[in-house]
Structure 1
Amino acid sequence: MTETNTASTSNEQPTSRQKDAHADQPVFIGDPFTHSTLFTLDFFKRLAKFSLVGVFALGITGWTVFEGLHMWVENVELACDQDSEVRRWEWDHEAEKWSGGDKGGTDPALGFKGRHAVRSAWIAENWGTGSGAIISRSDTSSGRGSQGTGSLNVIEARLEVAQNFMAIAISISESKMSSGKLRPQTLGELLARHASVLERMGTRDALLQARFQYERVWAGLPAKGTGAARVALKLGDLDYRLGDFEDALAWWARTISLTQGTQQSNLSAPEFTQAIPSSPYAQRTLASTLVSLSAYYSTSGHLKQAQHVQESGLDLLRSIPSPSRISTASPPQALHSLFLLHRSSLLSIHLAEVLYALRTAPEQSIQWLTRAADSSERVALALAGLPFTHPDAPGSAIPHPPASEASLVTVYTKSNAMRKPAKSLLRDARRTAAEAWNLIGILREGEKDGAERALECYERALGWAGVSSDRSGGIGEPGEGTPEAEWKVLWNNYVRVRDATRKQMTQTTEP
């Protein structure tokens, strides 16, 4: 028994050798610092992995959106209008060409960078850049600062960005000309688009560069047809704005020759006949040229020449066939007729001013101004899809009230070829109507007891300028497309006559 217990005890108690063996084995004790370090490393490892995945996903998404936007512009915004009526009235000639020609879009031979530069210019010009204006002293051909100009120019950011992209596209186009893969018209179309952007920037440097670009377009035209006539008109208008009047007259003379098929004996004194061009595009070009020529003679003191151009021009425009009713004409035909009607209203305003300067009876000027106001209002109402008579009295002769906020009808906004011409015509028609009513008001003020009639004219002018008549004395705001300076003139005339009328009424009612 004793032996058994002794053996059991000896089995349960470790020997000294076993104790030493256990003591030699390492013992792992949990270290909080070690655990924290491992967790931190694992966290940053996962963060780096997810960040890398996120960056790749964001990059792929951004690139997809970027390319998708460019494909939309290429295939939708720059698509060529295939409507037969649009082509019949040659509004496809008015459409902006961005190097793709009749197929629309951009020229594939420009390559990846060149095509993206063209589309980026279109996006900046039409959709903006997120900034309204910038103060620039840039060289408009390159966008780099010019030394020694000593002046600051306020330029819309979208136009500055657009012209920079167009300069890149033109440079690429010039470098690829020798390859023979570019369309023959690509460089000319890009130059024309660049010149158009520069022209709207309005600074003298921009106008000079625009003229240079149009001159390059003119020199590269293979045949001097209706397209060349429009370029000549652009050059004439630019020379007029730059003060080079002799050159302006020469270019306008070339425009008339190309549209009417005549030979000008004296480029310094353009002459036109009553021959109507067969091309609608040529008709619109000729009408715009007559307005430019009329404006030059009217403002330069050549009143007799101005009167002759205006009266002959009105006779010519009236002789061009037009639909009996605008509502029955197709949209392209209606837009063509409205364009010519607006140009006739501008000539009527010029003629009224010239007759007044020649000291004819004021009533003659009022008659021409009334015609101009009526024509301009008809153009604006037709483009907005509104009736010519008052909606509350459709059977009467009461005109429709001014509609300065009415939008362009859908049929024009959906057409790539007619959208911009129609939008510009709507804006110009409203401004012309406001100008005509304002001038009528000025002439009415000179009549005996004409203050009330003048006030009505000023109110209608304000309505077309974007400001409703406000009898409470508050100051309104100009509508879209109305320059601040023009609106101030209209508003000051209205306030002056309104206050004088109130004062006169108060004196009359006092005992």
Structure 2
Amino acid sequence: MRQTIPVSALKSSLRLVRIQSATSRSAPFPPCTFTLLRRLTSSSTRSAAYRPPVLPEADLPLGAVDSGRSERIERVKIGLRLFVRYCGWGLVIVAIGLGGLFEGAHLYVEKYKLPPVGDVDSGSTSRLRSSTTGENVDESSSTDYGWEDEMLSWTGGSTGGTSPRLGHRARHALRAAWMSTHWNRTNQATLAEQGWFEPDFMLLKRLQAEEANAPPPMLVEQSALSMDKYLNTVIQMAKSNGLSFPPELSVTRPPGPPDSTKEGSMCDPVVRDLLLLKASNLERMATKTALVDAKEIYERVLIATIPRGTSTSRQDARSMRLAKKVGGLCERIGADKEASQWFDWGLTRAGIHLNSLSSSAPSSSSWFGSSTPRLSFDPSGLSPAMLRATISLLTSVESYHATHAQLEAAWNVQSAALSFFPQRWQTNSALEQDNAAAALHQSWLQSYQATLQLHHASVAHAIKNKSALSIAEEASSLAEQNLKVMDPVPSFYQPPESSALTEPARQLHRDALLVAAESSFTLGRLLETTRQPDLSKVADLFHRAAELDAKQSGRTEETVTGGEWHKYWRNYVRVKALMGETVEPPFKDFDTDFKGRDEMAMDVIRSVTRKFINWFEPSRETGQAGGSASQSRA
């Protein structure tokens, strides 16, 4: 049968065609087209959801696609430019900050930590009492205290800081040397004669040396090593800048001091300061090679600074201090005969000869005879700087004789040196108001008098002299009296009151604590040897010695573990045990054998390292290795 289309549907279709033909002139895509297609296909797609047609990208206008891509690329470029700009500015700011900190630290050290050394004797005319005669003298005429000569100058001299003659780079290196020794308080490093090695490797070498009964390598502070490298750099730069250094010593020269008839060449003060800094740091390193090098440097400086013609007291005092340095280094490296020659040579600069000790004053308590030796020489004509240098040299001489069991010579030198000190001391309060240098000079004399009396008591006890106890009591009393003045360090010795007296005052404060500690311990030991000793007083003296020794180290008894403190504490515990009392350890993990924490740490490292090596030895069996491992864990 032929299918017929309803008349109504046909009319509707024709009506839509007329509408399409009418609107085709105005719009390329009339909406009626989509309606017609949807109606014609409504029988097959009636249930499907409507999805508008998606035109491909190729059919979009070319300008729209390029504009979208260029916009994204432009955004990336802007982001990269901002990132590079901010990173660049950040690096510039960091560089400026680091450079400012670097130069600021150097400027701080230059202006505040390296003060001028020539501002002590300003020529004031205050009336002071002579240190030897007790008479009032004019300071401007005869009291050149010379404290600035005893300080280590960093080439700046009276202006302070470093010398401009060294150049910009050398001055920075010299200030870095100061920073390394004052601000770099790191652990010790290992030094071997053939060079520097890694700590782990040198630890194994140390263990092997201990097992072979060989001496372990020397340990040197890292700050001393850094300072030595910087000073070597400064010296090389100074040579390249044209500064003249003293000639090297001839290998064929005879040992001992130079010929007094030969005059030394003029030594550049900057060069002299550099060499003295180098020698002082080598002394601090304290290895055999470093001590020999320091001795040669001191000899070079001494020979180059021997004054031409008539010398001043300050020049002679400087020569005596250098002679003491060289003699002490000779004694440390085993050249005892040469050390004695240097001590004698230094004393001759003050007009003192050791063979001038006479026996003109009778004494009933002398162990060596019926007289007490004295010098045929009046020390009242010595300036304060010369007096300090002379007493310091005499102390080195008597210590040299005492350590070599030459008790008679030590006793004679001690008795002669004690005659240099005044019978009465002026109160420090009066001196402080007039001149801080004079007060420091008197405190120095009191400290050395206590030291000499302490040595005198030790020698008297060794020779069975009954006056040993009374001498020790006098030494302890004088040391405590001086300690009351120097502890804490008075403010007029510190900046801004005085810059050149700061370092000598700090050293004297440390020496006063050490002398007071040793005098208390010596007095306690001598009291303990009496027939009926007062153990309570002896224990108090030993505890006082331990307390002062801990104080001079800047730590408390709970943290100090080395030096003489062990000796003082061990005797204190022993005396307390004799009294029937027990003493609690100063800290919780204190070893009963009085080992320091550093020694205990080294013991742990050695034991762990040995066990670690045993684990990997091929000759060890598995069972033994397991047993050692279990023991180490236990």
Q: Tell me whether the two structures share a fold, i.e. TM-score over 0.5.
A: yes
Aligned with residue 10 of structure 1, among 21, 25, 28: 25
Offset from partner CA, 1:290-325 (integer Å, 9 cap, x none): 111111111111111110000110011237xx7520
Give yes or no for the alignment of 1:291 onto 2:291.
Answer: no
C-alpha separation in 2, matches of 1:179 and 1:464: 46
Find the residue that maps to 2:219 and give its secondary structure. strand
Q: How many residues align?
A: 451
Is the contact made by 1:110 and 1:172 (CA closer than 8 Å) also made in structure 2?
yes
Between the aligned residues of both structures, percent identity stands at 24
C-alpha separation in 1, matches of 2:234 and 2:80: 45
What RMSD, in angstroms, separates the aligned Cα atoms of the two structures?
A: 3.8
Is the contact made by 1:195 and 1:213 (CA closer than 8 Å) also made in structure 2?
yes
Find the residue that maps to 1:135 and give its secondary structure. strand
Q: Which residue of structure 2 lines up, in the alignment, with residue 58 of structure 1?
A: 94
C-alpha separation in 2, matches of 1:425 and 1:7: 119
TM-aligned CA distance change 1:178 to 1:27, over 3 Å: closer
Q: Which residue of structure 2 lines up, in the alignment, with residue 344 of structure 1?
A: 449
Is the contact made by 2:118 and 2:157 (CA closer than 8 Å) also made in structure 1?
no
Aligned with residue 412 of structure 1, among 481, 489, 493: 493
Q: Which moved more, 1:304-313 or 1:281-290?
A: 281-290
Offset from partner CA, 1:196-237 (integer Å, 9 cap, x none): 111122222221121121112112215163222211111111
TM-aligned CA distance change 1:332 to 1:301, over 3 Å: same
Cα shift at 1:53: 1.4
Aligned with residue 205 of structure 1, among 257, 270, 289: 289
Offset from partner CA, 1:373-395 (integer Å, 9 cap, x none): 122222222112xxxxxxxxxxx
C-alpha separation in 2, matches of 1:167 and 1:293: 33
Name structure 2 gaps, 5 residues minimum.
1-19, 31-57, 124-143, 246-265, 308-314, 357-374, 583-634
Offset from partner CA, 1:310-346 (integer Å, 9 cap, x none): 0110011237xx7520111032111111111111111
Letter in 2 for 1:358: I
Letter in 1 for 2:322: V
Q: Which residue of structure 2 lines up, in the alignment, with residue 498 of structure 1?
A: 576
TM-aligned CA distance change 1:32 to 1:463, over 3 Å: farther
C-alpha separation in 2, matches of 1:33 and 1:348: 97
Find the residue that maps to 2:190 and give its secondary structure. strand
Cα shift at 1:6: 8.8
Is the contact made by 1:95 and 1:416 (CA closer than 8 Å) also made in structure 2?
no
Q: Which residue of structure 1 lines up, in the alignment, with residue 3 of structure 2?
A: none
Is the contact made by 1:229 and 1:255 (CA closer than 8 Å) also made in structure 2?
yes
Aligned with residue 316 of structure 2, among 218, 225, 238: 225
TM-aligned CA distance change 1:251 to 1:121, over 3 Å: same
TM-aligned CA distance change 1:38 to 1:134, over 3 Å: farther
Structure 1 segment 92-241 matched on structure 2, within 5 A? 92-127=148-183, 129-137=184-192, 151-177=216-242, 184-223=268-307, 225-241=316-332
Aligned with residue 77 of structure 1, among 90, 98, 113: 113
Cα shift at 1:462: 2.3
Q: Which residue of structure 2 lines up, in the alignment, with residue 368 of structure 1?
A: 471
Give yes or no for the alignment of 1:486 onto 2:486.
Answer: no
Higher helix share: 1
Offset from partner CA, 1:335-360 (integer Å, 9 cap, x none): 11111111111111111111111112
TM-aligned CA distance change 1:218 to 1:335, over 3 Å: same
Letter in 2 for 1:412: Y
Is the contact made by 2:115 and 2:500 (CA closer than 8 Å) also made in structure 1?
no
Letter in 1 for 2:281: V
TM-aligned CA distance change 1:36 to 1:150, over 3 Å: farther
Offset from partner CA, 1:89-146 (integer Å, 9 cap, x none): 221212221122222222212111211111111111222x2513222336799xxx99
Letter in 1 for 2:113: E
Q: Which residue of structure 2 lines up, in the alignment, with residue 393 of structure 1?
A: none
Is the contact made by 1:373 and 1:437 (CA closer than 8 Å) also made in structure 2?
yes
Offset from partner CA, 1:165-210 (integer Å, 9 cap, x none): 1111112222333689x98221111000111111122222221121
C-alpha separation in 1, matches of 2:224 and 2:148: 24
C-alpha separation in 2, matches of 1:34 and 1:487: 81
C-alpha separation in 1, matches of 2:392 and 2:68: 87
C-alpha separation in 2, matches of 1:91 and 1:201: 25
Is the contact made by 1:140 and 1:209 (CA closer than 8 Å) also made in structure 2?
no
Q: TM-score scaled by structure 2?
A: 0.64
Is the contact made by 1:136 and 1:154 (CA closer than 8 Å) also made in structure 2?
yes
Letter in 1 for 2:576: R
Is the contact made by 1:174 and 1:187 (CA closer than 8 Å) also made in structure 2?
no
Q: TM-score scaled by structure 1?
A: 0.78
Q: Which residue of structure 2 lines up, in the alignment, with residue 26 of structure 1?
A: 62
Q: Which moved more, 1:271-280 or 1:150-159?
A: 271-280
Is the contact made by 1:412 and 1:422 (CA closer than 8 Å) also made in structure 2?
yes
Find the residue that maps to 1:417 and give its secondary structure. coil
Structure 1 segment 390-429 matched on structure 2, within 5 A? 407-414=488-495, 415-429=498-512
Cα shift at 1:276: 3.8
Name structure 1 gaps, 5 residues minimum.
16-21, 385-406, 469-474, 505-511
Q: Which residue of structure 1 lines up, in the alignment, with residue 628 of structure 2?
A: none
Offset from partner CA, 1:253-297 (integer Å, 9 cap, x none): 122122x2457889xxxx884434532222111111111111111
Is the contact made by 1:99 and 1:185 (CA closer than 8 Å) also made in structure 2?
yes
Find the residue that maps to 2:395 and give its secondary structure. helix
